[in-house]
């Protein structure tokens, strides 16, 4: 039986998050500059998005550029930003054809104006699509997001719109950029690294973590199916005992 048909569609994660890693090393193994790896990473983005939508995943969040990525060589940062503009412009038609809504999390107003504009256009042009939401984490870091949420909540308290005693997990979750989205049940990181790297720290409280040696540019539908099957083989207990789950 092929991998896809082994997936239990009743137990599909509603939200999958991916740390796309290994573009640079992939390029090196091909004797090419790092940017070549990023360009080929776009193919993996396309395949993964298609596979997730076909299965019926509701949210796919991709870590495309972290707050820390600004520290990379200027040439690489510029190339990544240009690739972002190019990819969004090129893919909008396909996103619409497949009813995929584009969304972004992160401090996107700090992106170069061209990238920011392309992103806002992409979000606007796909806003009515309902099949799946593709979330790009751009200039994103979870610690930034948590500080921002805290600031927002503090302002509401200052304006007497909120009592400190009323602050709970729901209020906090609603102050995050992922407001209204289910938390990811499955977090995938490619390229053999086993770190979280400041990604969705609040939201992955109960996520299953899946690490693969595959470099991101080599990631294809089959790799996503493998990750989902691995996730489905695990027992998710949310702090309960196995016996309590049997009911």
Site string for ligand FPP, 77-116 (x = CB under 6 A): ---x--xx--x-----------------------------
Nearer to ligand FPP, 37 or 175 (CB): 37
Can residue 43 be called a binding residue for ligand FPP (CB under 6 A)?
no
Q: How many degrees, rounded to 5, is the angle at CA 10 between CA 101 and CA 227?
A: 70
CB under 6 A: which stretch of 39-47, 122-130, 147-155, 226-234 binds ligand FPP? 39-47
Nearer to ligand FPP, 61 or 203 (CB): 61
Please select the residue that binds ligand FPP; options are 12, 15, 18, 21, rule is CB under 6 A.
Answer: 21
Nearest position to ligand FPP, beta carbon: 24
Which 108-167 residues touch ligand FPP, going by CB under 6 A? 136
Write down the least CB distance from residue 4 to ligand FPP, Å: 23
Among residues 2, 69, 160, 218, the one annotated as catalytic is: 69
Please count the residues of this chain forming the interface with ligand FPP, following the rule CB under 6 A: 21
Can residue 62 be called a binding residue for ligand FPP (CB under 6 A)?
yes
Residues 6+ apart with CB under 8 A from 216: 20, 21, 22, 23, 26, 37, 41, 44, 190, 191
Can residue 181 be called a binding residue for ligand FPP (CB under 6 A)?
no
Q: Is 69 a catalytic residue?
A: yes
Can residue 64 be called a binding residue for ligand FPP (CB under 6 A)?
yes
Please select the residue that binds ligand FPP; options are 12, 16, 20, 102, rule is CB under 6 A.
Answer: 20
Q: Within 10 Å of residue 202's Cβ, how many Cβ atoms?
A: 15
Q: Is 21 a catalytic residue?
A: yes
Binding residues (CB under 6 A) for ligand FPP: these are 20-25, 34, 38, 41-42, 45, 62, 64, 69, 80, 83-84, 87, 136, 191, 216
Q: Which residues are catalytic?
A: 21, 69
């Amino acid at each position: 039986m092929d991998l896809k048909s082994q997936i239990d569609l009743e137990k599909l994660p509603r939200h999958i998050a991916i740390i796309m890693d290994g573009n640079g090393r992939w390029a090196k193994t091909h004797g090419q500059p790092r940017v070549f790896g990023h360009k080929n990473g776009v193919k993996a983005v396309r395949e993964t998005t298609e596979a997730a939508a076909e299965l019926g995943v509701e949210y796919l969040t991709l870590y495309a550029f972290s707050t820390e990525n600004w520290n990379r060589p200027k040439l690489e940062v510029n190339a990544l930003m240009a690739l972002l503009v190019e990819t969004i412009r090129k893919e909008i038609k396909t996103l619409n054809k497949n009813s995929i809504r584009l969304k972004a999390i992160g401090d996107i107003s700090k992106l170069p104006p061209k990238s920011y504009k392309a992103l806002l256009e992409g979000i606007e042009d796909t806003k009515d699509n309902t099949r799946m939401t593709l979330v790009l984490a751009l200039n994103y870091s979870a610690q930034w997001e948590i500080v921002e949420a805290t600031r927002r909540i503090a302002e509401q308290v200052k304006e007497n719109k909120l009592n400190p005693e009323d602050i709970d997990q729901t209020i906090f979750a609603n102050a995050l950029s992922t407001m209204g989205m289910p938390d990811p049940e499955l977090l995938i990181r490619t390229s053999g690294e086993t770190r979280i790297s400041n990604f969705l720290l609040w939201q992955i409280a109960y996520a299953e973590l899946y690490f693969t040696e595959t470099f991101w540019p080599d990631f294809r539908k089959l790799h996503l199916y493998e990750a989902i099957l691995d996730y489905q083989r695990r027992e998710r207990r949310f702090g309960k005992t196995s016996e309590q789950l049997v009911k």
